[in-house]
Amino acid sequence: MPILDLSPGDQTLTLTGDVTLAEVYAALPPGLYPPFAPVELPGGVGGLVSRGGFGQTFFFGAEVLGVALRTRSGRVVRAGGRTVKNVQGYDLTRPFVGSFGALGEALELTLRLRPGLSARHVAGPGTLAQLPAHAPRFAWEQEGELHLWHFGHAREVEALTGELLARPGARIVEGLGDLSPLFPGGLGVGEDGPARDRRFGWVPGGATPPVPALFERLAASL
Amino acid sequence: MPILDLSPGDQTLTLTGDVTLAEVYAALPPGLYPPFAPVELPGGVGGLVSRGGFGQTFFFGAEVLGVALRTRSGRVVRAGGRTVKNVQGYDLTRPFVGSFGALGEALELTLRLRPGLSARHVAGPGTLAQLPAHAPRFAWEQEGELHLWHFGHAREVEALTGELLARPGARIVEGLGDLSPLFPGGLGVGEDGPARDRRFGWVPGGATPPVPALFERLAASL
């Protein structure tokens, strides 16, 4: 479960799929952020990428620069690379991200890191439906509360999370949260579970959206 | 060659692949921009998406929300959709973008539009290598000059294009440029041609990067 390469200069992080989200946060220097909120989830970084992220409001696929995956036929395939420049067409990284394991298992991943001078995690009463168009980087519902997490310039962080924080009952969340106990058996897609983001409702267990027939053929070809 | 749907509210544009870049600019209301600079290129929007864009400094794949494509076996396949929310995993849109036709031909495309209060196209002496890390949305070299194109808040447009404009010999470019005459036979990938962006050198003709064997298998499966 090692972190294979951390390059603050290139702002990239290469690791095996089983590294946990907490291990990434522990390894990063101050002011550099991965494409996930400081919340532990089942399945490590490999699971997160396989599900297409959690709670983000941006295009998660662009933050995964490269992947080495074991396909269903047992072949080990590399796509993308360790730098932003490696995205040059013939892109097998993107269909892997969010494919819920249909194309195979991530052995190694390279993530883009982004800088931020300030960061804040706010939880309070509210729903995703009330979010303004210019949303924080991360927004999700968890056990009846709205969670917002943003990093960037201090003024931007204040602008995007301040309104929620001003609501009665809202609070700043410090440190790393742990959602794993809410999802015994893994993190699956479904309704009426303990969490929801803009893409999916999330439930305990391994339920995935149905795989389209065409994608199934693609997966079988690799 | 129709524009099938233009939704300023949803900020999306659906069109057939043969619509030209100029036709898109002519159709858009003021203050909404497509994911390409105001420069005509061979092959229309379908060609542009097949090549993975031109001159952009952002992740172009995220701006293509959906595609209907005719695969090499003649099947018509739809991936993604007309809204940002349709990106739900099992993503066949992303591998199509920038695959230089290897997966098939785009019959219909949905692009994301983005708002901007101000815009400026500057050309002048310089190279891509000298660009700062926080670059304009579009930057390319063309016939020995550096071109920058940005839209957004007026202050941001000034900050990102002002330095080039201050160089001796630099100028503001008005209206729509036309690079088509520089690329007889189409726009191909190669060295020492009339244009270059952060991804490729661009030359006349239809040269494409070599297709990896794995991607070839994937294309044959569709």
Please give the residue that has the higher pLDDT: either A133 or A44.
A44
**Whether residue A102 sits in one domain with residue A160:** no
**Whether residue A60 sits in one domain with residue A74:** yes
Q: Residue A107's domain spans which residues?
A: 3-114
Task: Quote ipTM for the complex.
Answer: 0.81
CATH assignment at residue A50: 3.30.465.10
Helix or strand or coil: residue A26?
Answer: helix
> Is the minimum CB–CB distance between A203 and chain B shorter than 8 Å?
no
Indicate the pLDDT class of residue A33, thresholds 50, 70 and 90. very high
CA-based nearest distance A122→chain B, Å:
24
Token pair, residue A137, equals 């980087």
At which of B95, B114, B133 does a domain end? B114
Indicate the pLDDT class of residue B81, thresholds 50, 70 and 90. confident
Tens of pLDDT, residues B183-208? 999 999 999 999 999 999 999 998 99
CA atoms of B132 and B207, how far apart (whole Å): 30
Is residue A120 in a domain?
A: yes
Chains A and B form CB pairs within 8 A to the count of 101
**Whether residue A120 sits in one domain with residue A75:** no
**Whether residue A15 sits in one domain with residue A107:** yes
CA-based nearest distance A174→chain B, Å:
30
Is the pLDDT reported for residue A132 higher than 60?
A: yes
CA-based nearest distance B95→chain A, Å:
5
At which of B114, B138, B161 does a domain end? B114
**Whether residue A156 sits in one domain with residue A67:** no
> Is the minimum CB–CB distance between B221 and chain A shorter than 8 Å?
yes
Q: How many CB atoms lie within 10 A of CB B213?
A: 8
What pLDDT is stored for residue B85 in this prediction? 58
Is residue B199 in a domain?
A: no
CB contact under 8 A, B92 and A218: yes
CB contact under 8 A, A200 and B88: yes
**Whether residue B124 sits in one domain with residue B29:** no
Is the pLDDT reported for residue B7 higher than 90?
A: yes
Tens of pLDDT, residues B35-60? 999 999 999 999 999 999 999 999 99
Chain-wide mean pLDDT for chain B?
93
Count of domains forming chain B: 2
Is residue A197 in a domain?
A: no
**Whether residue A121 sits in one domain with residue A90:** no
At which of B114, B129, B154 does a domain end? B114
CA atoms within 13 A on the CB side of A2: 3
CB contact under 8 A, A95 and B92: yes
CATH assignment at residue A158: 3.30.70.2560
**Whether residue B27 sits in one domain with residue B90:** yes
Residues within 8 A of B (CB atoms), A 65-94 only: 77, 85, 87-92, 94
**H or E segment at B155?**
helix B154-165
Is residue B69 in a domain?
A: yes
Is residue A56 in a domain?
A: yes
Indicate the pLDDT class of residue B88, thresholds 50, 70 and 90. low
> Is the minimum CB–CB distance between A200 and chain B shorter than 8 Å?
yes
Q: Which among B127, B150, B97 has a CA at the least distance from the CA of B197?
A: B127
Residues within 8 A of A (CB atoms), B 137-166 only: none
Is residue A35 in a domain?
A: yes
DSSP bridge partners of A16: A108
Q: Which residue has the tokens 């479904």?
A: A190
> Is the minimum CB–CB distance between B128 and chain A shorter than 8 Å?
no
Indicate the pLDDT class of residue A17, thresholds 50, 70 and 90. very high
Q: How many CB atoms lie within 10 A of CB B195?
A: 21
Distances from the Cα of B187 to the Cαs of A142, B29, B107, B201, in angstroms?
49, 28, 19, 10
